[in-house]
A and B are shown apart, each in its own frame.
Chain A
Amino acid sequence: MHPWIPTEALWWLGLYGGLGALVPWLLRWTQKGRNGLDTSPRKLFQRGELGLFGLFLALSAVLDLGRSALSIQFIVANSLVLGVSGLMASAAWLEDYSRWEQGLASQDERTWADSRKLLFLVFSIAFTTEVLLAHSAEAWR
Chain B
Amino acid sequence: MNPIMTPKQLSPAKVRLSDSAVLAGVISVTYAAALMFLPHAFPEVLQRVFDRGYFFRTIALLLVITNEILFLVICKRRHQKPNLLTLGYIAFLTITLVFVLRMLVMFADEQAQISHVLLHMSGRSAIGSEELLLYTYLGIVSGIFFPYVLVRLTQDYVSRTDSAEPEAKARGGAAGQ
User: A residues touching B (Cβ–Cβ < 8 Å)?
Assistant: 1-6, 70-71, 73-74, 77-78, 81, 84-85, 88, 91-92, 113-114, 117-118, 120-121, 123-125, 127-128, 131-132, 135-136, 139-140
Contact = CB atoms under 8 A, between A and B. Distances in A.
Nearest to B128: A139
Contacts, number: 102
A92 B35 CA distance: 32
Q: Is the interface of A mostly helix, strand, loop or mixed?
A: helix
Nearest to B131: A71
Interface of B: 16-18, 21-22, 24-26, 28-29, 31-32, 35-39, 104, 107-108, 111, 130-131, 133-135, 137-138, 141-142, 145-146, 149
A124 B35 contact: no
B94 to A, nearest CB: 15
Contacts of A114: 16-18
B39 A128 contact: no
Contact of A128 (B108, B137, B146): B137
Given A92-B18, A132-B134, A135-B39, 18 more contacts: A1-B37, A3-B37, A73-B104, A73-B107, A73-B108, A77-B104, A78-B138, A85-B145, A117-B22, A117-B25, A118-B17, A118-B21, A120-B22, A123-B25, A125-B24, A132-B137, A135-B35, A136-B130
Q: Is the interface of B mostly helix, strand, loop or mixed?
A: helix
Given A84-B149, A139-B130, A4 B39 contact: yes
Going nearest first, the 7 A-B pairs with the smallest beta carbon separation are A117-B18, A4-B39, A121-B21, A124-B28, A124-B25, A128-B32, A121-B25
A74 B17 contact: no
Given A118-B17, A128-B29, A131-B32, A84 B146 contact: yes
Contacts of B146: 81, 84
Contacts of A132: 32, 35, 133-134, 137
A71 B108 contact: yes
A22 B134 CA distance: 30
Contacts of A84: 145-146, 149
A113 B18 contact: yes
A2 B18 CA distance: 36
A92 B133 CA distance: 32
Contact of A118 (B18, B31, B39): B18
A139 B47 CA distance: 15
